[in-house]
Structures are given as structure tokens and as C-alpha cells.
Amino acid sequence: MKKIITALLICMLAAVCLFTGCSKAKGLKVKDSSGNDRVLVTDENGGPIYDEAGNIVIVETDEKGNAKKDEKGEQVTNAVSLKNLLVSGDKAYCKYFTFTKPSGYEMTVVGSSITLVKGKETIDIIYDTEKSVEEKRSDLSEVIASIKAQGYEPEVEDETKTLCGQEAKVTEIKISSNDYEALIVSVLFEKDGVTYACNYHASKVGASTGEFESIVNSISFR
């Protein structure tokens, strides 16, 4: 008898949810930079949808994560301007690009930056809508000056390469001394008014940068 009553209660609760529109939002579940859950409306390929202004389209939800419904019973959606990155599994999304975590790396996403770590190698991908490439290069000059102030004599090489289809300023910094060794590579380029700073750090000056460049080239712009 208890089992029958329990079954009836479950059916009644299911019916209540059905008629009151109680259903979890359907779409791509992501977390924003504050750790809040959001649900994105997706296209036929499972990717997020943006409006003409570059705003991302989300499903409106209540505090329990249930989709809000209109008078026709359809999910209520809204286009919102999200400045920072959103994360879902191995993918990071923003209004400018999509990035997929490469195999073998741990990925951390905070605000407008992606950090990848594998062993003693670290890669940062940062986008900036306020500073230009030249302003970022000025910041890099200050970093080099700080390294020299600590008593090191870094080897610095500048060159221009094509990365992500853009002309990129590449600076390679090698630090080699009795107590410290490091290779730092800075890649700076601009696309559609947004400046990208991609940095590589390894504990050996002879580390290969080929994989780093491949990762930079894997950024998928909208």
C-alpha cells in the first residue's frame, strides 16, 4: 500500500510540473565568471547563438534553474551582453571567439583570460577591449625592465609572424643564469578592435614553441 501511495504522489508531482511549466531549461549549460549557471540557446551544431550586436542569447530561468515560459509554453529567451568568458566542459565562449581546451592541459578561465597548464609549461590567452597592441608592448617593456632590475640579463628577440590570420608581434625572452632559467614568449595581435595577448612560459630556454603557436592558431573567431 505504501508503495502505491508513493507512486501516486510521484505521478501527481510530475503532473503538477507538467501543467505549471516546471521544466529544466534546454540548451548549453555554462558557468559565467562569477560561477553562476546559465543556459545558452544553441544552433543546429550545438554552439551558442548571438544577435547582430554580438550579444549572446540565453534562456531565462528561475532560481531553481527551471525555464521561464511564455503564454505559448515556449522558453523565454533574452540577448545579453556578457563581457567575460563562459565555460562548458572543455570549451570557453565569449562574444568574440570560441576556444577548445587542447588535450593534456588543465584549463582555468577567469574573466577575460584563459590559462592552460601542462607540467612546467603555462599558456595564457587574454583579450582586451581597452588597450592597443602598442600599449601592451609598453607593458611588456616594463616586465623586461623588471627582469633586468633583478640582476638577470635576458636575451630578447622581436619578430613579426602571421598567427590566427593576423599580423602578430612576437617577443621571445630567454633567461639563463645559475639560479634561474626560463623561456617567455609574448604574442600580441589585434582583430576587430580587440587586442589579444597570448603568453607562453617554460622552465627551459630550449623549450619548443610549436605547440604554443598551434594553440594560438586554434582560437575560433566568430
Which one is predicted more confidently, 77 or 18?
77
Percent of the chain past pLDDT 70, that is, above it, reads 89
What CATH number should be reported for the domain holding residue 119?
3.40.1000.10
Is 141 domain-assigned? yes
Q: What is the pLDDT of residues 146-181, one digit of tens each?
A: 999 999 999 999 999 999 999 999 999 999 988 889
Asked whether 65 and 29 are in contact (CB, 8 A), the reply is no
Count: domains in the chain:
2
Q: Which grid cell sits at 88?
A: 562548458
Shared domain for 36 and 73, answered yes or no, is yes
| Domain span at 62 | 24-82
Is 14 domain-assigned? no
> Of 58, 90, 50, nearest to 221 (Cα)?
50
- Residue 51 to residues 48, 77, 81, 99, 200: CA-CA distances in angstroms? 10, 12, 10, 19, 34
